Chains A and B, each alone.
Chain A
Amino acid sequence: MHNLTIAELVKGLQEKAFSSVELTQHFLARIAKLDANYNAVITVTADQALKAAAAADKRLAAGDAPALCGVPILHKDIFCTDGVRTSCGSKMLDNFIPPYNATVVENFEQAGAVVLGKTNMDEFAMGSSNETSFYGPVKNPWASDSVPGGSSGGSAAAVAARLAPGATATDTGGSIRQPAALCGITGLKPTYGRVSRWGMIAFASSLDQGGPMARTAEDCAILLNCMASYDDKDSTCIDREVPDYSATLNDGIKGLKIGVPLEYFSEGLDPETEKAVRTALAEFEAQGAELVEISLPNTGLSVPAYYVIAPAEASANLTRFDGVRYGYRCENPSDLNDLYTRTRAEGFGDEVKRRILIGTYCLSAGYYDAYYGKAQQVRQLIQQDFEKAFQQVDVIMGPTTPSPAFKFGSKGDDPVAMYLEDIYTIATNLAGLPGMSVPCGMVDEKPVGLQIIGNYFDEARMLNTAHQFQQATDWHTLTPEGIA
């Protein structure tokens, strides 16, 4: 059952080939048996899942089943779940049980999905390797000595290891696409404002966006149908009709103009990874798409701009974790300052502290213009690069990451090397554009991802493009050793 796609599971449930309870028990058993190898799941909600599955089975029997009725999924532990610990990968929230659901969680509940648990992640979504989690690193199902990527590494690894057919994730600078690429699955970061951020613990509010992870583009479309919604609780959510992303999957892509940015194939890109991506591009050409060489000249500025803006916003977003109202509080504080200082010193990990310090510095009097002000200007330039490109092309493609999954600890001492892991993904967050990663090859027995960047709210076309690629290739069907 765990090798079936969500599309197949929905069909099987409706045709009563299996029940949701059976399905849920199967995945819970897999998590119980296998997750020790991956550390992908922080919290398993077995009782609630089985109850939800039983309820789903009733609705299925009654013929009153919503879209995802009875389908088990996992939520990234950044989405608040009513009554279930939501840790954000941090000691700071290890004891935090929200009294409310994120809108994304609510949407899946409405759609009848069964939540198996919460997935591991880099602390407060700050990281590209899942090594910053308070709950320990997640291991890549393709190579246990390698990282799964981050920050949604738990969701990516869980889907790759068939611990769940799909999972929610978030992407601030590549946190859906990079782990999707490194774990050989499909992941989509929607247009900023497409998915509600209510109840999604903020890292960098102007960049954060929730999105789905699954094995196929078709499944991502099904999940996005449920995930995307207008939400008046999030002022940055955009009131725009949600199309049926499944409806256009089978459209042909003949005549599709694919922009290939020069800057995404330059120094720093592993040659084998480049080869895999070029081969994928050739496949699109073979299907009748046209490759157009384009330039996104400010790409090189995206990482520095991002590492000003994201930490600046984070430094303010994370101030609320002060030990006063919820979460971790240090023992026996002697006074207010001691409470703040020790709570935050003990509750946050190093990477979070590093980014709070960077952000605080960038916003400080005398530095604001040189850092934050400049970074905002760069952000506009990057946006203009894309706007210009999309006058010429329908989608943009390139590698998701410069190389396949790297080994644990290999970038631990060098935060800049780690930050460069997101060099191809960050620009889309700065521009607010949608991006996705699709498995497109193997290098050293590790997956490589093809990134597809779309124009604003063009997720349907991206999913269609990816689906057409997956109809002709089988990279997305490969299974890590020891999984089947």
Chain B
Amino acid sequence: MSYSGWETVIGLEVHVQLATKTKIFSGASTAFGAEANTQACAIDLAMPGTLPVLNKQAVHYAVMFGLAIDAEIGKESAFERKNYFYPDSPKGYQTTQLEKPIVGRGNVEIKLADGSTKNVRIHHAHLEEDAGKSLHEGDFRHGVSGIDLNRAGTPLIEIVSEPDMSNAEEAIAFAKRLHSIVTSIGICDGEMSQGSMRFDVNVSVRPKGTSELGTRTETKNLNSYKFMEEAITKEVERQIDLIEDGGTVMQETRLYNGDTKVARSMRSKEEANDYRYFPCPDLLPVIVSDETIEELRRNLPELPDARQARFIEQYGLSDYDAAVIGSDAAMAAYFEIAAAKSANAKLAANWTMGELAARLNSQDLSISKSPVTAEQLGGLVMRIADNSISGKMAKEVFEAIWAGEGSADQIIDARGLKQVSDTGALEKMVVEVLATNQAMVDDYINSDETKRKKKLGGFMGKIMQASKGQANPQQVNQILAQKLNELL
């Protein structure tokens, strides 16, 4: 089967949980991970006679997103009811926006691996409430489903893109860019594993060179870039195979299970709900004044592009390092603390992106949950920079900090890891090693130039062994070369 004759069209709908303390229409907490149904008040439970009151912070966050993508701001937006029965939707309707969203057309620029950029148009973004969670068999009890309404009423913005992406790479670059924007301006915690950002992917294919859109399918609720990539790749292949086998793509909603790697149809167009949207009579139109918009614009936190430029300028980071660190708000904040503490930004950047990121990744931890604080990493980098410890020792110290043994200095002290950089002491050490290894010395002298270089490592090993790894390797190298030279 050949896929080369086809092109793919992808649009995304992205649900972003807003980082407000309370829910969009009630005073209940939005904190993640509480015991089921302990963060649902009478309003969230849709008790009779209860009424919604709009959370202003959620409105401000949505406007901030609009400003960050240079979008039109809906100065008068309105809520509607989207009606459907489901146990995790306690009112039987979702309060959302349809005709008059809070954020209108905007643009998001994505950078691709080959260095090129592409503009993805945003159709609109609207405010709405999240649903609760249904816990089915396996998650809950056999034969019984449970409902957890803690999440019900968590504020969301749903960002709807135009179908401007043409492969998984672009879709993921777009998703990452949105993640970068919403975390940079502080309206979302960006914790994908907790569902803070969820992606619905609309995919269609068409013969290369044609302009008419094919029938699309929507794969809902992907919460990792990896699953997104897998789901898109599989769906594109499925659609092309289907068409090439003489079939037609049906408009449908699909689900992708990232654990089993299996996608399945959830409902066809015919089974789709008639949501019977109508204006929510319990809520007034949302008016956002020009003054409010200007104030939010003035106070808008630094956007990823500006931050990356600043990192290059202020810290002398490379374009690549600035892009990696600067696009992730949490990592950027971490880096800036570590850089300040260590007074060596470049090295702090290397450690943040290198050792730390790898270790966090392997444990599936976000940087905000890092056992090594930014101050601690800065302290470690400082000791590398001032030659107190070698790179190898630094890794040992890093592990010890990770394990909770304290700051770099405490660990260096406790373990006696301080590097020996005293020239006199080192000379003495070198001379001793040479004296006790006469055979090696003779062998060295009798070798030619090229072989001698290779034999230096053997001496280094002996010296480091003798110093218990604490000898400053650069200095030892110098002294050793000098002493051996003298013997020739």
Partners in one complex: yes
**Are A319 and B49 in contact, with the CB atoms below 8 A?**
no
From known contacts A199-B49, A233-B51, infer whether A319 and B93 are also in contact, taking CB-CB under 8 Å. Answer: yes
Known A235-B283, A340-B85, A364-B274: A80·B49 in contact at CB below 8 Å: yes
The verdict on B52 contacting chain A, using a C-beta distance below 8 Å, is: yes
Name the residue on B nearest A99 (C-beta). B42
By a CB distance below 8 angstroms, the chain B residues around A313 are: 278, 281
Please determine whether A320 and B90 come into contact, CB atoms closer than 8 angstroms.
yes
In the complex, A88 Cα to B274 Cα: how many Å?
29
Report A186-213 residues with CB < 8 Å from chain B CB.
197-202, 204-206
- Contact residues of B: prevailing secondary structure: loop
Is B284 touching A320 in the complex (CB atoms < 8 A)? Answer: no
Evaluate contact between B276 and A102: CB separation under 8 angstroms.
no
Given contact pairs A233-B53, A340-B85, A319 touches B92 in the complex (Cβ within 8 A): yes
A-contacting residues, B45-65, CB 8 Å: 45-54
Q: A325-B45, A336-B87 are contacts. A236–B284 as well, Cβ < 8 Å?
A: yes
Given A316-B278, A319-B92, check contact A100 B47 (CB 8 Å): yes
Contact of B48 among A98, A235, A340, A363 (CB under 8 A): A98
Interface residues of B in 295-354 (CB under 8 A from A): none
Interface residues of B in 420-446 (CB under 8 A from A): none
Complex Cα distance, B48 from A100, in Å, reads 10
Cross-chain contact of A201 among B49, B274, B278 (Cβ < 8 A): B49
Q: Please state if A235 and B93 are interface contacts (CB–CB under 8 Å).
A: no
Q: Give the distance to chain A from B203, nearest Cβ to Cβ, in Å.
A: 25
Q: For A235, give its contact among B53, B83, B91, B92 (CB under 8 Å).
A: B53
Contact A319 B284 (CB under 8 A): no
Asked whether B15 is an interface residue with its Cβ less than 8 Å from the other chain, the reply is no
Interface string of B83-106 (1 = CB under 8 A from A): 101010011110000000000000
A137 to nearest B CB, angstroms?
23
With contact pairs A319-B92, A320-B91 given, residues A98 and B282 touching in the complex (Cβ less than 8 Å): no
Verify A316–B92 contact, CB threshold 8 A.
yes
Which residue of chain A lies nearest to B83 when distances are taken between CB atoms in the complex? A316
Report how many residues on chain B are interfacial, defined by Cβ distance under 8 Å: 29
Which of under 10, 10 to 19, 20 to 34, or 35 or more describes the interface residues of A?
35 or more
Tell me the minimal C-beta distance from B425 to chain A in angstroms.
75
Q: Binary interface profile of B, 255-291, with partner A (CB < 8 Å = 1, else 0)?
A: 0000000000000000000101110011110000000
Q: Which residues of A contact B124 (CB under 8 A)?
A: none
B81–A322 touching, CB < 8 Å: no
Q: Is the interface of A mostly helix, strand, loop or mixed?
A: loop
Q: Which residues of A contact B46 (CB under 8 A)?
A: 320, 325
B278 touching A312, Cβ below 8 Å = yes
Report the Cα distance A320→B88, complex, angstroms. Answer: 11
Closest residue of chain A to B274, judged by CB?
Answer: A365
- Give the distance in Å from the alpha carbon of A204 to the alpha carbon of B279 in the complex: 12
A124 → chain B closest CB, angstroms: 10
Query: Given the complex of chains A and B, what is the CA–CA distance between A368 and B275 in angstroms?
Result: 11
A95 to chain B, nearest CB (A): 12
B400 on interface, CB distance cutoff 8 Å: no
Contact yes or no, B147 A316, CB < 8 A? no
In-complex Cβ contact of B91 among A79, A319, A336 (8 A): A319
- Near B by CB (< 8 A), chain A positions 96-144 give 96, 98-100, 102
Cβ of B276 and Cβ of A363 under 8 Å apart? yes
Contacts of A233 in B (CB 8 A): 51, 53
A315: chain B residues at CB < 8 Å are: 83, 276
Q: A197-B51, A232-B53 are in contact. Are A319 and B42 (CB under 8 A)?
A: no
Q: How long is the Cα–Cα vector from A202 to B47 in the complex, in angstroms? A: 11
A80 to B51, CA, bound (A): 13
A198→B50 contact, CB < 8 A: yes
Q: Which residues of A contact B50 (CB under 8 A)?
A: 198-199
Encoded as 1 (CB less than 8 Å from any B CB) or 0, chain A from 422 to 443 comes to: 0000000000000000000000
Q: List 12 A-B contacts (CB under 8 A).
A: A88-B48, A198-B49, A198-B50, A233-B51, A235-B283, A315-B276, A316-B81, A319-B91, A322-B92, A325-B45, A363-B277, A365-B274
Instruction: Given contacts A236-B282, A316-B276, list 19 more A-B pairs with CB under 8 A.
Output: A99-B42, A197-B49, A197-B51, A198-B49, A198-B50, A200-B49, A202-B48, A233-B53, A313-B281, A315-B83, A315-B276, A316-B81, A319-B91, A320-B46, A322-B87, A324-B87, A325-B45, A364-B276, A365-B274
Interface residues in chain A, defined as those with a beta carbon under 8 Å from any beta carbon in chain B: 79-80, 86, 88, 93, 96, 98-100, 102, 197-202, 204-206, 232-236, 312-313, 315-316, 319-322, 324-327, 336, 340, 360, 363-365, 368, 372
Q: 6 tightest A-B contacts by CB? A: A319-B92, A206-B281, A363-B276, A205-B281, A199-B49, A320-B46
